[in-house]
Amino acid sequence: MIAGVDEVGRGPLAGPVVTAAVILPREYDLPGLTDSKKLSAKKREILYYAIKTQAIAWSLGQASIEEIDDINILHATMLAMQRAVSALKIKPSEVLVDGNRTPDFGVPARAIIGGDGKEACISAASIVAKVTRDRIMAEYHEEFPYYGWKNNSGYPTKQHIQALSEYGVTQYHRRSFAPVAKQIIHSQTAS
């Protein structure tokens, strides 16, 4: 019962950080399973449903924008990972995490750099987390379309940075991230 864990959303200026934990069976049929960043949105969607259907267990964890601003993105990511693992309906015997560190899960855990391309359970977690976070950002986009979140997922693209200076900071922006903090200071000194 090995759980793979991955996160999505450490670098964006807006939105939560989302993590997923996935336990795959020994036998599964997930053609094209790899790191979510190497897949098209359409392929991710197909695999997302297949993973949820075939997984022994899967779960999500999040850290809110406020938590990211309060405890920093690294600690918020670790917290979201712990939440995903503790939400699994089956306690894993081991947890494999994409990256170079793991939080305390209460079970043995290993960090694997590039794990989302090496371990199927981590690849599956990366896909579930990415599709989930992209959907959250698409919802936020409906409310604030000028930031381009449906396409950039909150990352600091040219469109996002330009909209930030034109329209200001929303409740979905991470105030502790430099471009957002700079915009807050700029708008305070301009008024």
Q: How confident is the model at residue 65 (pLDDT cuts 50, 70, 90)?
A: very high
Grade residue 184 by pLDDT with cuts at 50, 70 and 90.
confident
Q: Which domain holds residue 10?
A: 2-142
Same domain, 31 and 119: yes
Residues 113, 41 share a domain: yes
Distance CA 57, CA 140 (A): 28
pLDDT > 90: percent of the chain? 90
CATH at residue 76: 3.30.420.10
Residues 182 and 119 in one domain: no
Beta bridge partners of 105: none
In tens, the pLDDT along 152-167 reads 999 999 999 999 999 9
The 10s digit of each residue's pLDDT in 6-60 is 999 999 999 999 999 999 999 999 999 998 989 999 999 999 999 999 999 999 9
Whether residues 160 and 126 share a domain: the answer is no
Q: Does one domain contain both 124 and 186?
A: no
Stretch 71-82: mean pLDDT, rounded?
A: 98
Residues 171 and 137 in one domain: no
Considering the domain architecture, whether residues 59 and 98 belong to the same structural domain is answered as yes
pTM of the model: 0.94
